[in-house]
Structure 1
Amino acid sequence: MAAKPSAKDKAWILFDEIVDQAAPDGEHTNPWATNSDGSLRYEPDFDTLTRLLGVPLQLKAASQSGVPALALDVWLSYELRRAGFHPDQTWPRAESPRILPMPISNLLAALPRTERASLQTRLASKSSMSGVTSSSANILGKNYLKQVDVIMTDWATGPELLISTKRMDSSYGKNAANRIEESYGDAKNLRMRHPQAALGFVFGLRSDILTKEPDTAEWLIDLLGKLGNEEDAYHATCLIMFDYDDALPDSDVEETETSALAEPGVDGAEEDEGLQQDTPQDDLGVSLENLPRLDLLHEKIPAGLSASRFLSIMVNHVLDATPVTMHREARRRRRAATPDPAAVGESGIVHDTPVAE
């Protein structure tokens, strides 16, 4: 007997459709553009972000379902693919399984068609297979394991990019301090074991905090900026502020994270059969039509916390920390936006100053 689809099952179908429409046949737009002074800037796809953020509202998914925060994870991984990183390197992936180690991806590519199709079906039918695939990733820091929301890693390189995301839509005074304290500790924990990895933090915040709890908003935004300015913490931090009318279900329950005693890498336990990926949307009662309207408040975001600056720093850090023989498509996309070839060194690396959108 098939399990009843959860809010996250329904959300993934909508998320995948939104991303597919943004990148038809896997063809992503180039996010890099040129400023009037010849420097590069990263232009995030905010239209896609707005649609993704509308999914939890459409499903009326409470925070403990994980769906509201997951919208940010899906968008960030999509942006990394826009930047030119391999679709199987950016987790969560755009299809099930959401985490698939590159050796498994390379194995699939090398198999004959019939064997490849059979194995792909097997992998996609489960949200997790012990030691192989997973719906979430745990990374060992200096002292404890941490579930990382958006990640790029491989056995040959170790973690190359680690992004943690948090989201708050209510109960600001009650939860804000805890979220910041957790993020600060996680940054120290991960940075000390993986100093070469691009380490970032993205915070999603509903705009009504500005009127309901302005002092908390001022304090929170100030601390987010400071989190990205310490040499041994995050390389960059980002604030996404959104405004909407329809309220999500109230809940003071914190989002569940993987226990620090779990095995590193993919989840340690095999899960039951998950939702089949070919399940029609109509059968789940979900639709992209008439997604609730949601606005992004760019003007309320300090330049140091902008998504443009954040993504530019993350992508550039990964490329600067790896040989030119790696991530060739990401380098090509960045180079293609450079109007003056002389500005590009022999390594192909362009060092630019990120700007706010």
Structure 2
Amino acid sequence: MLAIIPDPADTQSGVAAKALDVWLAYELRRAGFEPDAVWPRAKHPRVIPTDISALLDSLRPRKDADSLRARLEGPNPPAGIVSANANILGLNYIKQVDVVMSSWATGPEILISTKRMDAAFGKNAANRIEEANGDAKNLRGRHPMAALGFAFGLRSTAFTEDASSAQWLVDQLQKLNRETDAYDAVGLIVPDYQVPGWVTEHDSLRPEPGELDPLDEPGADDVEPEPAEIPLLDLRLGSLPKVTVRDDLTPDDLSPATFLASIVNYVLDASPITMHPEARRRAGRPFIEPRARG
């Protein structure tokens, strides 16, 4: 869980919030879902259609696949093929969704939105809940079969520095979790860490995303720059503080384990026994291996 805290030397990059997305995607892959179908992927580019991955794996000779993969994963991939973010068309507008599992054959199967607050907890708490409700209606309206989730990261100091706001947020998340026409799962993650002297006044370490042009078509249109080497990476990693997750501050119905189990079970319940065999095996469910295509 070290990755869910921000780098003290880089508080405004959004790395902390994106790390929460990366961790959730990692847990979905650990549950047995197809790695390239879960976005963000563990490596650049973060979003790549599963059909493109299947094409790369099927190309012979291997040098053709390696050449094409190098182009897709390089600094200047073809426009509209890979992306840094997953932009999903909802009922009324396009929404950048933080954690997604999708393929051409199934459409979106998992849509998880994440928010994070590490300081100034009462400043925009109501706005975060209102945004969550609006996003749920928009995404649910077009993708009723997808497992829809909302994960909220709230630093543990909220419960001592602004206990009223923290308790209000927990109560609102529980109410949101009980709504029958909103999310299938709502989770609360409470990281505990101490880094004196650098936490800013911003209520969230994720910069607000720029508005999407409503006339743009949804798809993989933005290109993530190839990651650059991070100066003094080992030193910066070594300076990060120890972090724990405060399960005692999280109600059982909002715990990360309950949240992830609900998302996984929703997907398996909504799909045929021939799909997601590895996830079914890990969950102790019956499954049928799909027949190989000859």
- TM-score in terms of structure 1 length: 0.74
1:218-257 counterparts in 2 under 5 A?
218-246=167-195, 247-251=198-202, 254-257=207-210
Q: Deviations over 1:14-54 (max 9, x none)?
A: xxxxxxxxxxxxxxxxxxxxxxxxxxxxxxxxxxx2x1124
Q: Deviations over 1:120-145 (max 9, x none)?
A: 11111137642100000111111111
What is the aligned partner in structure 2 of residue 274 from structure 1? Answer: 226
1:264-343 counterparts in 2 under 5 A?
264-267=218-221, 269=222, 274-275=226-227, 279=229, 284-287=231-234, 288-335=237-284
Distance in 2 of aligned mates of 1:219 and 1:193: 30
Return the match for 1:99 from 32, 38, 47.
47
Return the match for 1:90 from 38, 45, 48.
38
What is the aligned partner in structure 2 of residue 259 from structure 1? Answer: 212
Q: Deviations over 1:198-236 (max 9, x none)?
A: 000000011111122111111110001111111110001
What is the aligned partner in structure 2 of residue 139 from structure 1? Answer: 88
What is the aligned partner in structure 2 of residue 28 from structure 1? Answer: none
Q: Post-superposition shift, 1:57?
A: 2.8
CA contact (8 A) 1:153 1:160 kept: yes
Does 1:61 pair with 2:15?
Answer: no
Structure 2 CA distance for partners of 1:76 and 1:257, relative to 1, 3 Å: farther
The SS at the match of 1:203 is strand
Q: Post-superposition shift, 1:325?
A: 1.2
Distance in 1 of aligned mates of 2:130 and 2:46: 28
Distance in 1 of aligned mates of 2:193 and 2:121: 16
The SS at the match of 1:126 is coil
Distance in 1 of aligned mates of 2:193 and 2:211: 30
Q: Post-superposition shift, 1:58?
A: 4.6
Distance in 1 of aligned mates of 2:68 and 2:200: 39
Does 1:72 pair with 2:15?
Answer: no
Q: Deviations over 1:295-319 (max 9, x none)?
A: 2111010111001110001001111
Distance in 1 of aligned mates of 2:40 and 2:283: 23
RMSD (CA atoms): 2.1
- Letter of the aligned partner of 2:21 in structure 1? D
Does 1:200 pair with 2:149?
Answer: yes
Q: Post-superposition shift, 1:250?
A: 3.7
Aligned length: 281
Distance in 1 of aligned mates of 2:251 and 2:104: 37
Q: Post-superposition shift, 1:68?
A: 1.2
Q: Post-superposition shift, 1:251?
A: 3.2
CA contact (8 A) 1:225 1:305 kept: yes
The SS at the match of 1:238 is strand
What is the aligned partner in structure 1 of residue 159 from structure 2? Answer: 210
CA contact (8 A) 1:90 1:152 kept: yes
Structure 2 CA distance for partners of 1:128 and 1:185, relative to 1, 3 Å: farther
Any gaps of 5 or more consecutive residues in structure 1? Answer: 1-48, 336-343, 349-357
Any gaps of 5 or more consecutive residues in structure 2? Answer: 290-294
Structure 2 CA distance for partners of 1:345 and 1:326, relative to 1, 3 Å: closer
- Percent identical pairs in the alignment equals 52
The SS at the match of 2:283 is helix
The SS at the match of 1:134 is coil
